Structure 1
Amino acid sequence: MSAAFAPSPISILDTDLYKLTMQQAVLHHFPDVQATYRFTNRDKSRLFSRQCIERFRTAVSQFTDLSLTTEEQVWLRTTCPYFTPAYLSFLSAYRYKPEQVRITFVPVSADGLLGNVEIEAFGPWVDTILWEVPLMASLSESYFHSVMTDWNYDSQEQTAYDKGCALIKAGCAFSDFGTRRRRSYHAHDLVVKSLVRASRDIPGRGRLTGTSNAHLAHKYGLTPVGTIAHEWFMGVAALKGYKNTHCVSLDLWETVYPDSILIALTDTFSTDAFFKDFTSDPARVHRWTGLRQDSGDPFAFGPRVKVMYESLGIDPRQKLLVYSDALDVDKAIRLQKQADELGLEKVSFGIGTFLTNDFKTVSSGGTEKSKALNMVIKLSSVNDRPCIKISDDLTKNTGDKATVEHVKQLYNLIPVAA
């Protein structure tokens, strides 16, 4: 770990693009809505040290120093024409408010030095929406410089380069989606730099399409990639109701982005529920550029999407299909092979943790994996109304149980096993 410890973001753009696109949509439709976000550590066996959380707390206190630079504003205006002057003006004036974040260390060891952490962000939705990604990235970096330190950066550039080469040679169009759970900013920077080098060195049908990280896209001259995330559907449903909620969410999005970034995420309330709503308006299916798969069986998704488009008289070759759930090189290559067999011509892969947090322990001589944190920060409520998620992975359902049951009954979903 020769790189300096820097858990706070380098730039206000050191976040995923879809946080900015959703922030603009929230500013347009819900500027006065109050929101709460909550952290979940999915691996209860992974404990944090008191030192780790104090480092994390210090980093969060420094977020207030960030602001959009003039150069970054010019770059956003040029590169992302879907951002309006009003939104860019808002973002230029935006400042993180650390008082919106509550961090609580809960000791469990006898000496009080190891424990769990509770994190909550609360305030106007248009403000708090930007906390999720940098909070997770900063916590991860704090953890791997304070608790799990049996690793180093040796061979990281070559490893990322080899992954990029393999994907390009296999004909995969792919992008970096690794900001939230990266090992560190330095690791992320090494990865993106190496992928850029691979894309320059290796000819072929495959290509690096960009990165979800707006700052690194700016730094390396890449396309910033991203549209919409689960929280948009979760928040809109809680505010507007769950009946035909996908239609309402997509329509509201389309009023902000009528001509661009129309790639719908399918699994907020299960893919079954999404397709039921989505296909109710064939004209909408025609207008939207494509779909993103983020949970469930990806190998069942491609064939299902093809059948759906063809049933509506739409050529599936003209629609984009983005895979983004727990991808590695092997899975992406196998999915690309399936897409080729299905005749799906516009397929892309958003690869996250496998790129930016793929390390081995030094003590094992590089034979054992140094596992990334398995964590999320989700929208918990809007205007005191609970927000839920019912994905195609039953282990990822989150939120108020009564609301989950209501939505399952509304869409005739199979009850979740206890």
Structure 2
Amino acid sequence: MSTSSLSSELSSARRSYTQRNPISLLAYEDATKSLPGGGTRSSIFIHPFPLFIERGDGVDIIDLDGHSYKDFVSDFTSGIYGKTDPIIKEAIIKGLDNGTQLGGHTTTESKLASSICSRFPSVDLVRFANSGTEANILAISIALHHTKRKKVVVFKGGYHGSVLSHFGEEEKEKEAEGANGGDLKVPYEYIVCPYNDISATRSTVNRHVGEVGAIIVEPMLGAGGCIPGTIEFLRGLRELSDETGSILIFDEVQTARLSTGGRQKILNIIPDMTTLGKFFGGGFAFGAFGGKKDIMSLFDARSPSSIAHGGTFNNSPLTMIAGLSAIESILTEENLNKLNDLGDDMRNRLNDSFAKEELPFKMTGLGSVNQLHCLLSSETKKEGLELLFFYLLERGYWIAQRGLISLNFAMTELDVIGFEDSLIESARSVKGFS
């Protein structure tokens, strides 16, 4: 069929979405009076307007209009525990009795730090922050301070937080269209290299010998499409960092869920520093950055030349309690392996079905974090993915509009099989209009 058929069907799907969600629409219109665009988080915006969620239970979320969805976004990988994990809930309730803000050190803070250090091979010492974004800014900043250099190597498609993204071609397309939008960036001196191309990266970095202080990389691109870094590429970065005297930072904010020690443990490729976030706070705002002792000791307040690092909520009591309970009782090797096997099996089955039926989709990723890609022409692939999103909503499944799929511990194998069936049906419908 023609491109106009796909566009027409997408317009119809948007109208149906609007008609089914009148209360969310009213809530959104009210929110725009005090929030730009009706919210404070760009990644969860949905065109033409976002659903407003009333509550969650286990694997389900329920919107203001009473629709229930199986949540296959899991709050963009951070909601790994589902909506109402009893272990975390009990820990939080007990923690409330001790006070919500103490303004001092607690043993829970050091126990959580010790647990993280024991898990990640690269982390001798660790500091806490309030988000993965904040952790990455601090890690880059201390790496540049330590090396006394100014340049930072990043990669096309990389995302290290709301002010540290480098989506490459998408940014160029916006510029070509005359758009003034895009992403805010902390003004480091960036050198942007191609992901998974160690030869080109080495060639570029070697032109700046003595200037590069940090190389920051996701072991798998997250927001950039769930593209796993190859062993050759990641190991090559380790060698390049050693050769140039720069600090290699692994952003494992998402890939930390692939094992108890992240992807660095799986591949036995040890960076100088590691950044974490999301689920290590047990559902509360959290970030962490750690690494070699000689780097992290720069924050040691016992030294008269120490680097200051404040943050009122860095050691928030409830975050420390929830995070420690989660890491000790839920984020076990057995549980993570089971969840990641579930995701690998799902991805393999879906890709087999896509290929067999010649459906215009594929899925990439590792373990429990995956991304759907539409294989239609460049002019229609965005519409195809959005149409798939609306079809899945009608069938009771919630994914990110951009195609991200993230599993959580509340899911069963039956939940995943049901999702796969609905996804294949939805993909068949998209194919019919493409």
TM-score normalised by the chain length of structure 1? 0.35
TM-score, structure 2 normalization = 0.34
Max radius of gyration: which structure?
A: 2
